[in-house]
Amino acid sequence: MKTKAEYIQSITNPCWDRFQLQINVLRLDLIDPDLSGNKYFKLKYIIQYAVEKNYKKLLSFGGAYSNHIHALALAGRRYGLETVGLIRGEEHQPLNPTLQDAVDAGMTLYYLSRSEYKRRQDNDYIEEIKARFPDCYIIPEGGSSVLGVKGCMDIAAYIPSATDIILLPCGTGATLAGIAAACPDKQVVGISVLKNAYYLESDIGNYMSNLGISDVGNWRVEHDFHCGGYAKAPDDLTVYIEDFVRAHQISIEPVYSGKLFYAVEKLITANVFSAGTNILVLHTGGLQGIRGMQEHFSEQLVITH
């Protein structure tokens, strides 16, 4: 069992020396072999609540390579709970590695048309789902609920006190909300992995409000590093990822962590950070998803744990 400090890894680059920065990585990808990265924290209180309320089944939404669906299925197997995944798009056989893992863990899959999937946050549609699956505890896509944000607040226990700025990838904003709420004395910067996701600011504020936590304004979202949109992997990003893995022996992928470190590199070289700043980069896991994007890379990326 690692100590919390052992999840911190320092990284260097000769090109960064002139900026006089301390760059550390919080390796949440190493905390749990099944519930990778921030999913471990997002699901923590959700599952606890479901068990306390005597639910036997958990239901949630996700795409065909969803880290959340993957983690939820494995969490269900671990805790003896049945799981149901409502998957965006048509079924394809054979199943991809993400969905095959989910099925192997006992998850039952149902496929939704893209138009139906777009309704996943509508209250009337959720009522339809409740009627269709009356014995299921329904979890929002990505685990991004009040309980999910509360779980992400626990990440703060792994963050060194000397940290000045925390950078992390942003999909729904739930992880950022939890960390910003738990670390009011630190600046938190989210790197949006989606194009034109300017609603994130509102969503993050709502997460905090729903938790009853005052927003002290210690966070922001950068919207310029989505690399073309969600799950897009242009050549400059894939080359960067391959170079990064070779240089630092830390596996990253194109959807979340790759864009995060790519953004960090760009922000450092743009001299955005003051000399002496202690920067913590949050590796939020999700490496299982790279199995569906291997064709973008010129070589087989080794997942280093």
Q: By the 8 A CB rule, do 269 and 79 touch?
A: no
Does residue 304 have a pLDDT over 50?
Answer: no
Burial (CB count <10 Å: 0-12, 13-18, 19+), residue 218: middle
Helical (H) or strand (E) element with 75: helix 67-79
Q: By the 8 A CB rule, do 162 and 278 touch?
A: yes
pLDDT of residue 252: 94
pLDDT of residue 298: 64
Q: pTM for this one?
A: 0.94
Tell me the pLDDT band of 291, cut-offs 50, 70 and 90. confident
Does residue 137 have a pLDDT over 70?
Answer: yes
Phi, psi values for residue 188, rounded to 5°: -125, 125
pLDDT, tens digit, 9 for 90 and up, residues 163-177: 999 999 999 999 999
pLDDT, tens digit, 9 for 90 and up, residues 259-280: 999 999 999 999 999 999 999 9
